Structures are given as C-alpha cells and as structure tokens.
Amino acid sequence: MQHPNIIARPVAPAADLDELRWEIDRIDNAILALMDRRIATAHAVAAAKRDMRSRWLNLHPGREAAVLDRLSAQAEAMPPESIRAIWRELIGLNLQAQRRMEVVLHAGARAALVAGAARERFGGAAPMVVADCAGEALDRARSREAVAVIELSPLSGWWVALAEEPDLVIFEGLRDSAGALVALCVGRIAPESLPERERYEILGEGRLRQRSAAGEPIRAVAMSGHLRLCVTRQAEAAR
C-alpha cells in the first residue's frame, strides 16, 4: 500500500552528518506543524458540536482501535507499540481539546500499575482524579464528563452495580506487561462506539454455562455470588 508522502525530499544515502541532522530537524518541524494542525482541527470539531447535546461521552473506543490497527498495518519502520503509544497521546490531546474529560481512578494494592496503564491509555493531557471507593468512581462517571478506571481482581464485586445500569458500560480492559487484566474502563459510551473485539457482559452462572456449551468464545474474569463478569475470547486474542 502506498502512503501519503508528507516529507517530500528523500535522504541521500551518502549525506554527511550535518545534512542528516538538518534533515531530522526539518522532519521534526514538519511533524510539529501537523500536530498543531490536528489540534486546531479538534477545536473546529468542538465548535461544530457546541450546540449538540448527548448523554454519551465524546469518546469512541471502537473508532480509536480501528485507527490504531490501520496505522500499525501501514507503518514500514515503526513498531506497532510505538505507533500505539504516540497516537494514544495524540488522540488524548484531541479529545481534551474538544471537551475536558477526567479519568477517575480507584485501585488498591496495584494503584501505581493501574494509574500507569490509565495514563498510557488516555494520554498525559487527561486530568486524573483518585476516588476513595469504586462507587464514587462510578458516580463520577455517571454524572460528569469522566471515565472510571477501577482495579479488577477475580473476587472484586464492584462491577455488579453495572448489571442494571442503563448508561454505564465496561468498554475496555487495561492489562499489565504480561497481558493480565488489571483494571476496567467504565463510561457512558454510545453502543455504536464500543469496540467489536472486546465486549464485557454480566451473566448468571447458568447462562454462562449455556453459552460456553454452545461453543461461544466467552469466559469469566471475575465472580460475585451467582454473577460472572465475562469477556469474549476475541478480547484475549487482541492482547
């Protein structure tokens, strides 16, 4: 696939060191100009949406995932991890430019790990607030421009409150460097904006057994009483 060539002049293989350094400076300036243009476009989007009212957050995890996958596939030299880190930061900047959205954290023993994962996911521009309990984090996500990021352990039961919740959904899981699920992101996300490959559901134990027996790729990641917090196997494949 041929990509748009925003840096028009190719570097000569035999260029001397000063010329190469100058070329890097020129590329840096071009990248910065494009980033500034991206932020300016985000402000224009915010202006166009000024009179629009919605109970949903201005957050589209499904589209973000598609953009990151597309760019990672296009990249010729950059590793996918670097692509994702850079564009997560750019996406976060653009979201904050359109409408301020805070990240509300609640975690226990792994607070530093969860905070770091949340910062990688939502970018350095996102204001972070620490909640004393999971209920407070969910309340802020329910009533403000905010997402809740709450630590998950196999026996944690805070997610049970979402079973009868009309607006709040778990839209993404955050994982550690080994791929283990450490926290969940909860927010008022429009159904059409949810990512296809990662879906979370709260099911009774019997219903989970039925769906598993039918061959559906689903498994429990936490339990509370007869309820199970389940994730589709597609989410695991996307780690």
Residues 135 and 46 in one domain: no
Residues 134 and 32 in one domain: no
What was the pLDDT predicted at 47? 84
Distance CA 125, CA 136 (A): 22
Residues 60 and 46 in one domain: no
Residues 63 and 31 in one domain: no
What was the pLDDT predicted at 118? 98
Residues 166 and 62 in one domain: yes
Domain range spanning residue 27?
A: 15-53
What was the pLDDT predicted at 196? 87
Residues 115 and 220 in one domain: yes
Assigned domain for 227 exists: yes
Assigned domain for 184 exists: yes
Assigned domain for 2 exists: no
Residues 184 and 213 in one domain: yes
Residues 43 and 58 in one domain: no
Distance CA 201, CA 160 (A): 10
Per-residue pLDDT tens digits of the chain, which is 239 residues long? 444 444 445 555 656 898 999 999 999 999 999 999 999 998 898 888 776 778 899 999 999 999 999 999 999 999 999 999 999 999 999 999 998 999 999 999 899 999 999 999 999 999 999 999 999 999 999 999 999 999 998 888 999 999 989 899 999 999 999 999 999 999 999 999 999 888 999 999 999 999 999 999 999 999 999 999 999 866 444 44
Residues 82 and 39 in one domain: no
Tell me the CATH number at 152. 3.40.190.10
Question: What total number of domains does the chain contain?
Answer: 2
What was the pLDDT predicted at 14? 59
